[in-house]
Amino acid sequence: MSEKEKRTVDVAAAQMLDKAQEIGFLTTFDRAKAQEPRCTFGNTGICCRICIQGPCRILPKKPGGNKGICGAADYTIVARNTVRYIAGGASAHSDHGRHIAETLLHVAEGKLKDYQVTDPDKLMRVAKKIGVETEGRSVDDITKDVANAALDEFGRMHEQDLTWITSNCIDSRLAVLHNTTIMPTNINLSIAQLLHQTHVGNDADPVNIIFGGLKTALCDYDGMALATDLSDILFGTGVPVVTEANLGAIKADKVNIAVHGHNPLLSQMVVKAAREMNDEAKAAGASGINIVGICCTGNEVLTREGVAIATNFATQELAILTGAMDAMVVDVQCIMPSLRSLAECYHTKIVTTMPIMKIPGSYHLAFDEHHAIDSAKEIIRLAIDAYKNRDAAKVSIPDVKSTVVAGFTLESLLNIFKKVNPDNPIRVLIDAIEAGEIKGVALFAGCNNLKGPHDYNHLTVAQELAKNDVFMVATGCAAQCFGKEGLLNGEGVQKYAGEGLKKLFARLNEKAGLTTELPLVFHMGSCVDNSRAQELVTLMAKEMGLDNAEVPYVATAPEAMSEKAIAIGSWNVALGNPVHVGVVPPIVGSTLVNDIVTKIAEDVFGGFFFWETDPVKAAGKMVEILEERNWKNRIRA
Ligand code: NFS
Ligand code: SF4
């Protein structure tokens, strides 16, 4: 690989990086380089900053240096650091879920005029699932109970297992969670307890700390599962849509607005308001308004509204470098503070909207759910104003984009399976596994991590798994990579799928009745929508009469970066799924902790982590895991 190829496999991004170099902009790619070489202590997890006697590092050869000042050994330090990541991730996901639940409650109480229950069928399904009475009751009353049940997950004072876990898991899995005493009863309590557990001079037992971490990771799951359900109720459950992805989705003749962050409460309103405001954009000399998505709020509006993907996490700055981005409206999470300094060199307005996410010097417009459409319109007017200041000489949009077929919520995926097997849709997948056509199912999740070339691991693992007949679903920035690289369309199947996988696709395409062919990878939505993938594996387990840990299913985060990704990986392990991570996390500094999460976890949960930075080897290992599970199932049968 040349130095240039080491940056990214995304052609559009490479063009923009060249432009950045020409004009002397430093991007996250330059800053990643500047961080090398990494400090080995931090990089392997044996640096402790939990109290201010520290930082303490593990210096095994120095007398007195093999432990922290308080006596914490490497395993305590590594375990504590690891689970504190989980606490961060769980708080981000669950707070996002809480915000949606609160909004839904206010809708039912008639306090918010701009939101409504868009999908009453989903409301009924969720109500039934969690045991809310529906017979003869009004939509508002059911909505209130569902929203209150969700809010109760965060602060209930009595011992009751979390509802979105108990209602989504099968009994054999719930038994594992109970037997290992990691079933949570209160999201906020678990997060707080985990911070308490890892305070200086508290828990030193790495196994106990990891179990506390897993309990909190399950809260992460709960928060995202309810976020998915309630977002579907509010904004609709996505159906297949055709759109496009990559920087080429930014249009020179339009007012371009990127929605970036995670929460659909804002982005949905921006999309809605934009549809009504094309005339204002035209009055300013543009041909209309073009909304594009970055990161997971982009995935949310892609799934439900067919909004195009501009790019994913590592290349968010490059959207501004096109010179044609008039406003970037951001809510929470994964928004680089550097956006603002880049925007300064252009006419681009960075608009922050949430009380817990501000960037010095950027424009802050407090988003108000009570006047959601008005807030969204104000933002769009800012963009239209900015457009008037756009310097045409600075515009260069890479002519690079791919067709995307997305919108595969579990419901819409099953609807397609239903066309092949009307009585038992999930059987379509299981029959294909039992016939040896496909080896199983893989979930791609997670971020970009510039410890490796941008999007390279995502792309390579997927190509390898396709060749090996693995059915693939994806969320988050992984899914966005596939969109840009042409794996979210039918051509991807022709190009990369093995013979068995092609046969399954041929059967599905024949019956699906879509205007376009099905994509190689099924885009299931944002990171909170990893809950949809978990519902899929649970459905498979039920139909196969197995526990989750026996289903030929594997998860991968080829370019994991955020605390949220660590939390997601951890609940996947607790729920029985093998999880590949394509970067070596700061855990390897303790052999004991590393062994717990990569080996012992398998004995206890059936799920486990493995680290592999080489994507070809990683895919090979994933295929082996699927084959092993299939082999065991054949013996069992
Ligand atoms: Ni997930 Fe999605 Fe992307 Fe990573 Fe960030 S946007 S919530 S955390 S970087 S996948
Ligand atoms: Fe050092 Fe212990 Fe404080 Fe950590 S908690 S910084 S190991 S003294």
Which ipTM was obtained for this model? 0.93
CA 73–ligand 2 middle distance (angstroms): 10
Given a cut of 90, whether residue 190 has pLDDT beyond it is yes
Distance CA(149)–CA(545), nearest Å, equals 30
Given a cut of 90, whether residue 636 has pLDDT beyond it is no
Q: Do residues 33 and 122 share a domain?
A: no
For range 425-437, the mean pLDDT: 98
Do the domain assignments include residue 3?
no
What pLDDT does 5 receive?
82
Using pLDDT thresholds of 50, 70 and 90, give the confidence band for residue 223: very high
Do the domain assignments include residue 346?
yes
Q: DSSP character for 8?
A: B
Q: Rg of the chain's alpha carbons, rounded to an integer?
A: 24
SS3 511: helix
Q: Do residues 116 and 226 share a domain?
A: yes
Given a cut of 90, whether residue 29 has pLDDT beyond it is yes
Do the domain assignments include residue 4?
no
Do the domain assignments include residue 64?
no
Q: Do residues 541 and 450 share a domain?
A: yes
Q: Listing from the earlier edge strand, what are the strands of the sheet with 308-311? A: 363-364, 349-352, 327-330, 255-260, 289-294, 308-311, 241-245, 402-406
Given a cut of 90, whether residue 637 has pLDDT beyond it is no
Distance CA(14)–CA(9), nearest Å, equals 8
Using pLDDT thresholds of 50, 70 and 90, give the confidence band for residue 4: confident
CA 213–ligand 2 middle distance (angstroms): 19
Q: What is the pTM of this model?
A: 0.98
Count structural domains, the chain.
Answer: 4
Around ligand 1, the residues with Cβ closer than 6 Å are: 262, 295-296, 313, 334, 446-447, 476-477, 526-527, 561-562, 564-565
Please give the residue range of the domain that contains residue 44.
Answer: 11-57
Q: Which of 371, 394, 417 is the last residue of a domain?
A: 394
Closest CA to 214 of 171, 169, 181: 181
In this structure, is the dihedral angle defined by the CA atoms of residues 313, 319, 321 and 325, taken in order, positive or negative? negative
Given a cut of 90, whether residue 274 has pLDDT beyond it is yes
CA 35–ligand 2 middle distance (angstroms): 25
> From atom 5 of ligand 1, which residue's Cα is the shortest distance away?
334
Q: What is the CATH number of the domain that holds 133?
A: 1.20.1270.30
Q: What is the 3-state secondary structure (H, E, C) of 185-240?
A: CCHHHHHHHHHHHCCCCCCCCHHHHHHHHHHHHHHHHHHHHHHHHHHHHHHCCCCC
For range 195-211, the mean pLDDT: 98
Q: Which of 362, 394, 426 is the last residue of a domain?
A: 394
Q: What is the CATH number of the domain that holds 255?
A: 3.40.50.2030
Using pLDDT thresholds of 50, 70 and 90, give the confidence band for residue 562: very high
Around ligand 2, the residues with Cβ closer than 6 Å are: 48-51, 53-54, 56, 68-70, 72, 77, 200
For range 182-202, the mean pLDDT: 98
- Please give the structure tokens belonging to residue 319: 């959207």
CB 569 within 8 A of CB 579: yes
- Which atom, in ligand 1's list, is nearest to the CA of 299? 2
Ligand nearest to the CA of 454: 1
What pLDDT does 579 receive?
98
Do the domain assignments include residue 6?
no
> From atom 6 of ligand 1, which residue's Cα is the shortest distance away?
295
Q: Do residues 219 and 326 share a domain?
A: no
Of the chain, the percentage scoring pLDDT greater than 90 comes to: 98
Using pLDDT thresholds of 50, 70 and 90, give the confidence band for residue 2: confident
> From atom 4 of ligand 1, which residue's Cα is the shortest distance away?
447
Q: Do residues 275 and 209 share a domain?
A: no
Closest CA to 149 of 163, 160, 137: 163
Q: Do residues 630 and 501 share a domain?
A: yes
Mean pLDDT (the chain) is 97
- Which atom, in ligand 1's list, is nearest to the CA of 478? 10
Q: Do residues 357 and 478 share a domain?
A: no
Do the domain assignments include residue 258?
yes
Half-sphere exposure of 72 (CA within 13 A, CB side): 35
CB 11 within 8 A of CB 481: no
- Which atom, in ligand 1's list, is nearest to the CA of 476? 10
- Report pLDDT digits (tens) over 75-91: 999 999 999 999 999 99
Distance CA(436)–CA(459), nearest Å, equals 24
CA 368–ligand 2 middle distance (angstroms): 42
Q: What are phi and psi of 525, to 5 degrees?
A: 125, -150
- Report pLDDT digits (tens) over 30-86: 999 999 999 999 999 999 999 999 999 999 999 999 999 999 999 999 999 999 999
- Report pLDDT digits (tens) over 129-154: 999 999 999 999 999 999 999 999 99
Do the domain assignments include residue 536?
yes
Q: Do residues 498 and 612 share a domain?
A: yes
Q: Do residues 188 and 278 share a domain?
A: no
What pLDDT does 290 receive?
98
> From atom 3 of ligand 2, which residue's Cα is the shortest distance away?
51
Given a cut of 90, whether residue 381 has pLDDT beyond it is yes
Distance CA(158)–CA(171), nearest Å, equals 22
Q: Do residues 480 and 617 share a domain?
A: yes
Using pLDDT thresholds of 50, 70 and 90, give the confidence band for residue 416: very high
What pLDDT does 618 receive?
98
Q: Do residues 231 and 305 share a domain?
A: no
Q: Which of 209, 235, 261 is the last residue of a domain?
A: 235
Do the domain assignments include residue 219?
yes
Q: Do residues 533 and 624 share a domain?
A: yes
Using pLDDT thresholds of 50, 70 and 90, give the confidence band for residue 629: very high
- Which atom, in ligand 1's list, is nearest to the CA of 562? 8
